[in-house]
Amino acid sequence: MLGKTFTYDTEKFSPELLEALKNNQVIFRDGVAYLKNGGIIQHVPLKEVTTVNIDSFIKGLDSLQSTLQSTIVAAQAISTASLMVAMVIQTQILAKKIDAVQQSVLAVSNQIKEQNILFYTEKTTEYLGLLRTFKLLLNNNIELKDVNALANNTLASSIQLRNHLVCFMENLFFQVQHKKISSPEHVSQILQFIQQMMELLPVGMHLEFILSHRLDQKEFSQALIEDSHSQYSNLQLNYRGYLNEINNGLREYRIKSSEVPFFEELKIPAKQLLESNLYSELLEKPAMEKLSYSH
């Protein structure tokens, strides 16, 4: 699929799907159209296209943009998340992003020998390994019933590690904000790590949600995405608050640029991250969309 562009093949939408769309009764999840009150309508067909409006979607991919090359996904309102996850699973996008985060982890662990940080950088490496397993498990050629134990163990381990990492990132925010880390170089490395993780986490959280959904953990998959949405919202709030504090301090001459040499390099990717639609598509929307399982 590298070098190809895909969108929904609306000409192959069933009459039932078209009618449900007209009445706003559809939830798209993992490439499947469901009625909001329960029941599958149709597995959504895709088609290759040559032109597409990608502005908001590409901005949402942030640093992943450089890895996309000519691979573009149509950001149609009906379900950007399903299309993006399909591309993540079927291309090298996720692997390249994992490699970028791993380089950031190595930079932190090589320079900052504090035991707590070393412990959590090791946990980050474990989490990145699990994301590679998600990619394998969610490949459409894999029957989950044949690898049920591996799928459930991967999901459980990912949830536990992700919770560890979110707490770790919150702790790092606290240390940086309260100047517990004095070296500007170390602060820069930590913030680069946080930026990289915040670009990756919505993808990892959504993959957890999709795997749980495919394992037929109906109510739990919804609780899982709602929890992920809440966690990431708090991280966003902390990150935005810290960056705004620096920006305002520089503008009001309370902070010298020499005290925050990392800010100039970080502010553009951070702004793109915080203004992107990635978080909304992968976490906020599915957290707000609730399927009924009473039918």
Q: Where are the domains of the chain?
A: 5-90, 94-288
Task: Examine the pLDDT at 54 and tell me if it is beyond 80.
Answer: no
Determine the average pLDDT of the residues in 207-235.
Answer: 93
Task: Indicate if the alpha-carbon torsion angle 218, 221, 226, 229 is positive or negative.
Answer: negative
Distance CA 150, CA 183 (A): 42
Number of CB atoms found within 10 A of residue 172's CB: 23
265-287 pLDDT tens trace:
888 889 888 888 778 888 998 89
Name residues whose C-beta falls within 8 Å of residue 144's C-beta, 6 or more positions apart in sequence.
Answer: 137, 151, 214, 215
87 Cβ partners below 8 Å, 6+ apart? Answer: 1, 6, 71, 73, 93
Tell which wins on pLDDT, 237 or 24.
Answer: 237
Which tokens hold the place of 52? 């597409």
Tell me, what's the pLDDT at 293? 61
9 or 116, higher pLDDT: 116
Integer Cα distance of 73 and 86 in angstroms? 10
Q: Find the mean pLDDT for residues 109-131.
A: 90
- What single string gives the DSSP state of each residue in 39-67? -EEEEPPEEE-S----HHHHHHHGGGHHH
pLDDT score, position 193 = 94
pLDDT at 79: 52
Average pLDDT, the chain: 81
- Across residues 149-171, what is the average pLDDT? 95
Predicted confidence at residue 23, as pLDDT, reads: 82
pLDDT computed for residue 124 by the predictor: 95
Q: For residues 185 and 111, is the Cβ–Cβ distance under 8 A?
A: yes
More confident residue, 42 or 250: 250
Residue 11 has pLDDT above 70, yes or no: yes
pLDDT digits (tens, 9 = 90+) for 241-261: 999 999 999 999 999 998 888
Half-sphere exposure (Cβ direction) of 255: Cα atoms closer than 13 Å: 14
Residue 74 confidence (pLDDT): 33
Sequence-ordered list of residues with C-beta below 8 angstroms from that of 221, at least 6 positions apart, any chain: 209, 212, 213
Question: Averaged over 186-199, what is the pLDDT?
Answer: 92
The answer to whether the beta carbons of residues 162 and 206 sit under 8 Å apart is no
Of the candidates 38, 42, 78, the residue with the CA atom closest to the CA atom of residue 218:
38
How confident is the model at residue 123, as a pLDDT?
94
Whole-model pTM: value is 0.80
pLDDT at 90 over 70: no
Q: Comparing 38-47, 51-60, 123-132, 191-200, which segment has the lowest mean pLDDT?
A: 51-60
**Chain position carrying tokens 């079927």:** 90
What's the rounded mean pLDDT across residues 153-166? 96
Question: What is the per-residue pLDDT for 86?
Answer: 66
Residues 6 or more apart whose Cβ sits within 8 Å of residue 130: 154, 157, 158, 161
Q: How far apart are CA 225 and CA 223, in angstroms?
A: 6
pLDDT on residue 62: 42
Q: What is the pLDDT of residue 87?
A: 64
Q: Using the predicted structure, report yes or no on whether residue 32 has a pLDDT greater than 60.
A: yes
* Residues 6+ away with beta carbon under 8 Å from 164: 120, 123
Q: How far apart are the first and last CA of the chain?
A: 37
> Could you read off the pLDDT of 166-182 as tens digits, one per residue?
999 999 988 888 888 87
